[in-house]
Amino acid sequence: MIKPRIPGKKMIETADREMTLLEHLAELRSRLIKSGVGLLIATLVAWFFHEPVFRFMVQPVMRGLAPHGITSLQAIDVSEGISVYMKSSLAAAFVISSPWLIWQAAAFIAPALRRREKRLFSLATGLVALFFVLGVTFSYGIFVPMVVDFLAGFSTASGDMTLVPTIRNAFGMAMFFLVAFGFIFELPLVMMFAGMLHLISWRTFLRYLRHFIVIAFIIAAVLTPPEPISQILMAIPLCLLYVLGILMAWAGWQAGGEKPGARSFLVAATAIILFAGGTIAAAAFWKGSAPEVSPGPAGKRTVTITLDQPCVRMVSGWAAPEGQNLDVSFGPDGNVEFTAPAGVDLPILPQGNRPVDRFIAGNASRIWRRADADANRLLVPVEPREASKLLNYLLTVTESGCR
């Protein structure tokens, strides 16, 4: 008697059979090669945009330096520029290719998981990515600018030293804290899964809350510079993450039982949404309260125009004393800086309706002022196109007889 052939039966049996060690290694090699090729392609694509990528990554450092009149970074080694550009391109490549890398990892692990475990794996992957992005957002928008501002102010307050940050140090500091906070923000997830697996109860986490506060300040002291501001800025989010983790551990404990209730999922989802929304809103508010200041590409020069007293009165409503000049500098990043001798006032709202007056008044909310023993300065962070219009106007005026 001939048994009827069931279509697809052989394929199903082959897929369900246990793989040997060599087959596992072959599959792992295939996934690693595909991941490496994807990362290489993403790196090549990112290299074509290495300058904008670098500017974006060091933007929080530059926002911290801007109040102290520092709008550019230095390179002290001929290979420093290309080295930092390659690192920034590689970092961008990891972000670009992360969906592909996660897909390859999931494809390797998925055959060994049941249907419920696959859903949990997908949920865990999404939550890990979300909390990592939240950590990077907090560091990019709040932590790094505030810490750099404090450290730069402390270094330059006495006037005994001149701060000249390098592109390597700026990039290294930004990347370290971005990645560090990305991993730190995974703490609530670790606590949730510990509760879901019934390894540690939420009550245990709650009991050790006071101990964790001390541990948070110790971790902050190890990972941050030896000054109180950055330590507090890292310790406080750690404590808030731990409190959120207690709530998520409770939800995980309920969900890991035999009859998980909808209430636990609702509580966890609400806590995550509120935390994510609060983090993004705080970072956006803090970032929006400061001007955008980016370093220009290495090797680009700053253009400086010196205007004498009659020329100053021609282009603006500022009252320049007899014999006093005004320097207007245009950086490669678009920032415009007005520098006058000490004692010459540069009001943010000059009396007049000339192009310089309109330029200053239109950007008054973003202007940084600095006065020292030698000069008074106004730094106006603007888009390169807007700075170029003002530069062309001043060049036209100076060519017509104004010096």
Same-domain pairing of 100 and 35 = yes
319 found inside a domain: yes
Identify which has the larger pLDDT, 307 or 212. 212
**Distant-in-sequence, close-in-space partners of 289: CB < 8 Å, separation ≥ 6:** none
Same-domain pairing of 77 and 167 = yes
Same-domain pairing of 367 and 279 = no
Q: Which of 276, 252, 246 is nearest to 264 (CA)?
A: 252
124 found inside a domain: yes
- Tokens standing for residue 129: 């990515």
- Tokens standing for residue 22: 């060599």
190 found inside a domain: no
53-62, 73-82, 257-266, 318-327: least confidently modelled range: 257-266
236 found inside a domain: no
Query: Quick count: other Cβ atoms within 10 Å of Cβ 156?
Result: 17
Number of domains in the chain: 2
Same-domain pairing of 114 and 142 = yes
Same-domain pairing of 280 and 342 = no
What average pLDDT does the segment 70-77 reach?
75
Same-domain pairing of 326 and 378 = yes
**Which 3 state secondary structure label does DSSP give 1?**
coil
Q: How far apart are CA 349 and CA 182, in angstroms?
A: 42
Same-domain pairing of 311 and 272 = no
**What is the per-residue pLDDT across 200-233, written as a single tens digit (0 to 9) for each?**
888 888 898 889 999 988 988 887 777 777 788 7
- Tokens standing for residue 385: 């196109």
313 burial class (0-12, 13-18, 19+ CB within 10 angstroms)? middle
Same-domain pairing of 77 and 122 = yes
Alpha carbon distance, N-terminus to C-terminus of the chain = 108
Tell me if 385 sits within 8 A of 396, measured CB to CB.
no
95 found inside a domain: yes
Torsion of CA 271, 273, 274, 280, to 10 degrees: 140
**Hunting for tokens 């933007």 — which residue is that?**
59
- Tokens standing for residue 131: 């909390």
Q: How far apart are CA 27 and CA 64, in angstroms?
A: 48
Same-domain pairing of 174 and 102 = yes
101 burial class (0-12, 13-18, 19+ CB within 10 angstroms)? middle
Print the domain residue range for 48.
22-148+155-185+261-288
pTM, full prediction: 0.64
Same-domain pairing of 134 and 171 = yes
**What is the per-residue pLDDT across 248-281, written as a single tens digit (0 to 9) for each?**
888 877 776 555 556 666 767 777 787 777 777 7
167 found inside a domain: yes
Same-domain pairing of 277 and 376 = no
6 found inside a domain: no
- Tokens standing for residue 109: 């692990």
Same-domain pairing of 271 and 337 = no
